Amino acid sequence: MMSIFFIIRKRLVISLIMVLLVCAACSPAVTDPEAPLSETLAIAPEQQPLASLDEIGAATADTNIETSASQESHLPGEPPGQSDQRPATQEKTADTATNQNDTPTVVSNSTAPSLSTENQGSAAAPPTENNNATTAPPAENNNAVITPPAENNNATTVPPAENNNAANATPAENNVVNPAAQVDESVILTISGNGVNGTTAWTLDQLQALRDGYRELTYSTTNNWPNFEHMEAHGISIPYLLKQAGLRSNAASIKFISTDGYFATLTFAQVSGTRYSYASHSAAGSSGASAVEPVVAWAWGNVGKTRQESIRPFFGQSGPWDVNTAAFVKNLCKIEVSTASAGTWAGPGASITDGSTVPAGTELELSHSNMDSIRIYYTLDGSEPGYNSPVYNQSASYFQPQLIKPLVLTKSVTVKAFAAGLGKERSPTVTFSIVVE
């Protein structure tokens, strides 16, 4: 009986010892109050998650890589070539949205989960909650009151670099394929002025698409030498083109401007009125007049030798002596239509006053203040002159002045004359009655 009792007691003692050992192992370590705080914290089990932060970041990075790869497909309507810029932009946009929706104290732009401020500083200082409890609110709250975290500050003041570029500048690919720039480069003619409804811009393709206004015409031409020739032009009727541009009923003058600044101005009547192409012309007279419309031509040249050229206006003649080549503005780029009248040419003057009596053989000279811009048409028998009447100044003074000859009077005459030229209305007819003895 006694042996059984000793056996039981022995086992109880052993069990008690084991319990004490287990309790000793589980009890918190007693530290010396003077011992460095870092040694105490080093054995605190709640501080150990810091050792696994790299593993957490690596796992998150893997997730981000998979997310970016899944976004490489083009967005609907997105031009090719932008997908390489889009993932970074979308990631930053997502981060910004998160920062704006969550409380700054618990959100970080880092993809790794953020630790509390007290854990981040526990390795070198007493726990933040104890330190701040008696002096100031926790760092998170302090930041929330004074200023948001740096990441959030960026989000509220300036967008991320990628987003900033996306918001303020067009991607390089879009700059290359700018439709507006392509249209500007292809425009070859603009029509503007208060004589039309707004400004219209035309490409060559658009001009050529106006099939109802397309013309192939032959024009007789006279220049300041004066040489008489024929030219052929393929293009769009100017009256038809002006109608497409919204021509107003009170249009009075039209200016044709070259890329180098040269221009020619015509009255609206000179553009819309009847003008002619003559089959032949010489000092003896002209023949074969046929009406022709003015055109803006993109192919022109001598008859049978037209070729594609820069656009140029062509006009018929009011008469066989009419110098129309000055209005064939090469490299045409603008047409300006105005409601302002260009005015009327002044009438010609004469070296002998009206009603004078002169001896036979007296020379009569006709004159004009714009002698090289106009032609003086005249008659000597008192009949009304017209565009088929003789021309006093057949050439400009700087080309062949010898062609400008005074009229020799051998009998009494009634001289009637008017001045006409492009850009203004013809002058009124003036009359000079001269008695020859």
Q: For residue 287, is it within any domain?
A: yes
Q: How many residues does the chain have?
A: 437
Q: In what order do the strands lie in the sheet with 430-436?
A: 357-358, 430-436, 413-420, 375-379
pTM for the predicted model, two decimal places: 0.59
Residues 291, 398, single domain; the answer is no
Share of the chain above pLDDT 90, in %: 56
Is 330 inside a domain boundary? yes
**Segment 179-210, tens digit of pLDDT:** 333 446 899 999 999 999 999 999 999 999 99
Say yes or no: 166 and 223 in one domain.
Answer: no
Mean pLDDT of 125-144: 41
Task: Answer yes or no: do 156 and 192 share one domain.
Answer: no
Domain range for 377 is: 349-436
Residue 16 is assigned to a structural domain of this protein: no
Positions of E strands within 128-284: 187-192, 200-203, 214-222, 228-237, 253-258, 263-267, 275-282
Say how far apart CA 56 and CA 110 lie, in whole Å.
12
Q: Do residue 151 and residue 289 come from a single domain?
A: no
Are the beta carbons of 263 and 257 closer than 8 angstroms?
yes
Instruction: Note whether residue 361 is domain-resident.
Output: yes
Last residue of a domain, one of 299, 318, 338: 338
Q: Are residues 195 and 327 in the same domain?
A: yes
> Do 271 and 319 fall within a single domain?
yes
Domain assignment present for residue 60? The answer is no
User: Into how many domains does the chain fold?
Assistant: 3
The pLDDT value recorded for residue 14 is 78
pLDDT band of residue 285 (cuts 50, 70, 90) is confident
Token output for 38: 């870092």
190 is a domain residue: yes
Q: Residues 255, 154: one domain? A: no
> Which of 285, 312, 338 is the last residue in one of the domains?
338
Q: Is the domain of 275 the same as that of 401?
A: no
What is the domain-level CATH number for residue 283? 3.90.420.10
pLDDT tens digits for 58-74? Answer: 444 443 333 333 333 33
Residues 331 and 354 in one domain: no
Out of 129, 144, 171, a domain closes at 171
As a whole number, the mean pLDDT across the chain is 74
